[in-house]
Amino acid sequence: MAKTIDGTKQCGKSAAPRWRSRRLDLGRVAVTLVLAAVSVTTIYPMLFMAFTALKGRREYLFNRYGVPLHPTGENFYNAWVYGKVGQYVGNSAIVVGASVLVSWAVCSLAAYALSHLRFTGRRWVFLAIVGSMMIAPQVIIIPLYTMLIDLHLLNKHLGLILVYVTFATPFGTYLLTSYFRTVPGELVEAAEVDGASHLQILWRVMLPVARPALVTLGIFNFLWMWNELLLALLILQDDSTRTLMVGVANLRGQYTTNIPLLSAGLFLAATPVLIVFFFFQSQLTKGMTMGAVK
Amino acid sequence: MAGVVKHRIRLSARSRSTLLYACLFLAPACLLLVIFRLLPAVSAFWHAFTQWDGVSAPQPVGLANFAELLGDGVFWTALRNNGILVASVPLWILVSLVLALLIYQEVPGWRFFRGAFFLPSVLSPVIVGTLFTALLRVDGPANQLLQALGLGAAAKDWLGNPATALPTLVLVILWSIFGLGVIVFLAGLAAVPSEIFEAARIDGARGWAYLRHIVVPSLRHVLEFWTVNLIVWSFTSLFAFVYVMTSGGPGYATMLVEYNLYLQAFEFNRMGYACALGTALFLMVFGVVLLQLRLMTGEKE
């Protein structure tokens, strides 16, 4: 069978072994039922969140689990305006958008040098960059925090952007380097002879080749940055710069008993991620399993 | 002769410009990593040997922080809880592996099931945690469902009860991560020739024997990779779950090392002690990774 990275198996009906088709497969029915039951446990909590968000507080008392009979948008409005979800979405969009863009640039430049510029110690620089993945945020969070205060970057979007890009660099550089390496060196040399600068080669040759990797990297970074709590919690403490996940975590304390409003806030916070999930599932799968199958 | 010399000069000029470009291109990545990752790491290590409130000058205290850490009941409770999480890793792996094998059968709708399992793992722990806190409240839907099924006696405050808080947390974390394991194992299965599994089936391998003698050996590398990933993850990526769901409570029932670090540093301003905790955390993660490297290189020899 063809080896694919994303875990999809590419065998058609003809490849199905014969022993399967001969029996009336009670076994296969059982398998389907088990899978369906597990799917219910992953999907129902999401549906519960969506349904609850559409219910008024009174309806939630009488109709906890079912489809909303009198759907209302008031929870979304209240969460967006009074829960300040709208403001937090804006902050998260700025931080995550900028971080994803800057990370693309930083990692592409580094990956180009590590894959197509020959210099002594290249291997060590590569290992050092990838190896820095070992240093988890928790371990360095305290000096990082006091340093950002000293640099006047606390409570500024720029502070969190720089930290996010830093934490995204090892994996991004690793991913793009392995893609750029597939471009033959002769192609780069030919372009050099034609008078193209390294920056032009990177832009015109490498980036088009590495497009799938860039998409994967962008999605991957978007997801973890959008979902991240610890760094955002400590670096953007001011309500005006706060990101969405920190805002949602606070909303939980503020509206413990108003589950419909809380659900609306959660639903709004999850929406961008769900959109990415539905449209880019295969790229996502690829990115997540990169290291596994080698 | 002259031509060769000229060529050599041109070459070295070229390699010099290459080096210049390499430096320029690597500068942003290296500067960021040094300033925001390496220097803080060195600083954290140094501050582990000081008493420091984050504002006034740190006072060197030698190994006092580490001595305190070893005598601190909260640290040991947190470490025990982390240990319980690590001990539950085989369960997480087994669940993912069995489901991956079931999806591998390609029953109708397998693509849908794969997507449905994957869904929770893209959601933020903040969202998952808040959602399940609401679902598991005393008067929440989970308990009402139990009552409706006539199991009202089993209803309880799942996250507020010291006996059930940690197991509940473990299950919520399992819910949020098992789908990623399924995806990883499916990628591993796709790399194994399917004839191996078919031949074993025809030979009558079933159940546990099939899993142990056929599946596990074929997926050895993927299993190793995912085990190490999960262990490292269980030490360093659960802050948000604890922060949102239990704050380490009730009592210290769900206290984890990384959450204790956060509390010591940012609630009690004990930055020096927290840096010692960070050093301990780093050493534990480092140990796991070293062990993995050892296993991998040992196997090659």
Percentage with pLDDT > 70 across chain B:
93
Measured in angstroms, the CA of B163 and the nearest CA of chain A are apart by 23
Measured in angstroms, the CA of A179 and the nearest CA of chain B are apart by 17
Where residue A16 falls among pLDDT bands split at 50, 70, 90?
A: very low
* The token pair that represents A12 in the structure block: 């058609």
What is the CATH code of the structural domain delimited by B64-300?
1.10.3720.10
Which of A42, A220, A261 is the best residue to mutate to test the B interface, defined by the most B CB atoms within 10 Å of its own CB? A42
**Mean pLDDT (whole number) for B260-267:** 92
Which residues in chain B are contacts of A161 at CB distance < 8 A? none
At B8 the pLDDT is 53
**Is any Cβ of chain A less than 8 angstroms from the Cβ of B287?**
no
**Mean pLDDT (whole number) for A210-230:** 91
**Mean pLDDT (whole number) for A83-105:** 94
At B297 the pLDDT is 67
Which residues in chain A are contacts of B28 at CB distance < 8 A? 105-106, 109-110
Residue burial B89-111, b: 16+ Cβ < 10 Å; e: rest:
beebbebbbbbbbbbbbbbeebe
Which residues in chain B are contacts of A176 at CB distance < 8 A? none
The answer for B 194-253 residues in CB contact with A (under 8 A) is 194, 198, 201-202, 221-222, 225-226, 229, 235-236, 239-240, 243-244
pLDDT tens-digit map of B63-117: 888 988 888 889 999 999 999 999 999 999 999 999 998 898 888 888 899 999 9
**Interface contacts (A, B; CB < 8 Å):** 283
Residue B129's closest chain A neighbor by CA?
A249
Report the residue from B116, B130, B225 with minimal CB separation from A291.
B225
Report the residue from B135, B183, B286 with minimal CB separation from A7.
B183
* The token pair that represents B256 in the structure block: 């984890």
At A197 the pLDDT is 86
Q: Do B127 and A19 touch (CB under 8 A)?
A: no
At A254 the pLDDT is 76
Where residue A268 falls among pLDDT bands split at 50, 70, 90?
A: very high
Which residues in chain B are contacts of A132 at CB distance < 8 A? 33, 37-38
3-state secondary structure B208-238: HHHHHHHHHHHCHHHHHHHHHHHHHHHHHCC
Domains of chain A plus CATH, in order, are 84-254 (1.10.3720.10)
- Of B218 and A13, the structure prediction assigns the larger pLDDT to B218
**Which residues make beta-bridge pairs with B59?**
B51
Which residues in chain A are contacts of B186 at CB distance < 8 A? 7-9
pLDDT tens-digit map of B30-46: 999 999 999 999 999 99
Q: Do A117 and B105 touch (CB under 8 A)?
A: no
At A211 the pLDDT is 87
pLDDT tens-digit map of A142-177: 999 999 999 999 999 999 999 999 999 999 999 899
3-state secondary structure chain A: CCCCCCCCCCCCHHHCCHHHHHCCCHHHHHHHHHHHHHHHHHHHHHHHHHHHHCCCHHHHHHCCCCCCCCCCCHHHHHHHHCCCHHHHHHHHHHHHHHHHHHHHHHHHHHHHHHHHCCCCCHHHHHHHHHHHHHCCHHHHHHHHHHHHHHCCCCCCHHHHHHHHHHHHHHHHHHHHHHHHCCCCHHHHHHHHHCCCCHHHHHHHHHHHHCHHHHHHHHHHHHHHHHHCCHHHHHHCCCCCCCCHHHHHHHHHHHCCCCHHHHHHHHHHHHHHHHHHHHHCHHHHHHHHHCCCCC
Which residues in chain B are contacts of A114 at CB distance < 8 A? 26
- Label the pairing between strands B50-51 and B59-60: antiparallel
Q: What is the four-CA torsion angle of B81, B86, B92, B98, rounded to 10 degrees?
A: -150
Where residue B301 falls among pLDDT bands split at 50, 70, 90?
A: very low
In the predicted model, is pLDDT for residue B62 greater than 50?
yes
Q: Which residue has the tokens 């890009």?
A: A165
Q: Across A51-65, B173-187, B208-222, which has the greatest mean pLDDT?
A: B173-187
Measured in angstroms, the CA of A239 and the nearest CA of chain B are apart by 18
At A294 the pLDDT is 45
Q: Do B41 and A166 touch (CB under 8 A)?
A: no
At B289 the pLDDT is 84
Report the residue from A42, A107, A227 with minimal CB separation from B119.
A42
Which of A32, A102, A140 is the best residue to mutate to test the B interface, defined by the most B CB atoms within 10 Å of its own CB? A140
In the predicted model, is pLDDT for residue B264 greater than 80?
yes
Q: A10 — phi, psi (to 5°)?
A: -105, 50
At B6 the pLDDT is 52
The answer for B 120-159 residues in CB contact with A (under 8 A) is 120, 122-127, 130-135, 141, 144-145
Q: Which residues contact B8 (CB under 8 A, 6 or more apart)?
A: none
Q: Do B25 and A285 touch (CB under 8 A)?
A: no
- Calpha distance A229→B133 (Å, rounded): 17
**Mean pLDDT (whole number) for A262-272:** 91
Q: B50 — phi, psi (to 5°)?
A: -130, 165
**Is any Cβ of chain A less than 8 angstroms from the Cβ of B12?**
no
At B225 the pLDDT is 85
At B248 the pLDDT is 85
Nearest CA to A92 out of A227, A218, A199, A198 is that of: A227
Mean pLDDT of chain B: 86
**Mean pLDDT (whole number) for B282-294:** 85
Residue burial A131-153, b: 16+ Cβ < 10 Å; e: rest:
ebeebbbbbbbbbbbbbbeeeeb
Which residues in chain B are contacts of A276 at CB distance < 8 A? 122
Report the residue from A112, A138, A227 with minimal CB separation from B278.
A138
Measured in angstroms, the CA of B1 and the nearest CA of chain A are apart by 24
Q: Do A38 and B105 touch (CB under 8 A)?
A: no
In the predicted model, is pLDDT for residue A18 greater than 70?
no
Q: Tell me, what amino acid is at B248? A: G
Measured in angstroms, the CA of B121 and the nearest CA of chain A are apart by 10
**Mean pLDDT (whole number) for A96-102:** 97
At A206 the pLDDT is 87
- Of A135 and B297, the structure prediction assigns the larger pLDDT to A135
In the predicted model, is pLDDT for residue B28 greater than 80?
yes
Where residue A210 falls among pLDDT bands split at 50, 70, 90?
A: confident
**Is any Cβ of chain A less than 8 angstroms from the Cβ of B258?**
yes
Where residue A10 falls among pLDDT bands split at 50, 70, 90?
A: very low
**Which residues make beta-bridge pairs with B51?**
B59
Where residue A63 falls among pLDDT bands split at 50, 70, 90?
A: confident
pLDDT tens-digit map of B226-254: 898 899 889 988 999 999 998 887 889 99
Mean pLDDT of chain A: 85
Q: Across A67-71, A137-141, B155-159, which has the greatest mean pLDDT?
A: A137-141
Span of A149-153, B150-154, B219-223 with lowest mean pLDDT: B150-154
- Calpha distance B77→B121 (Å, rounded): 28
- Calpha distance A93→A76 (Å, rounded): 19
At A15 the pLDDT is 45
The domain spans of chain B are 2-47, 64-300
Which residues in chain B are contacts of A4 at CB distance < 8 A? 190
At A12 the pLDDT is 38
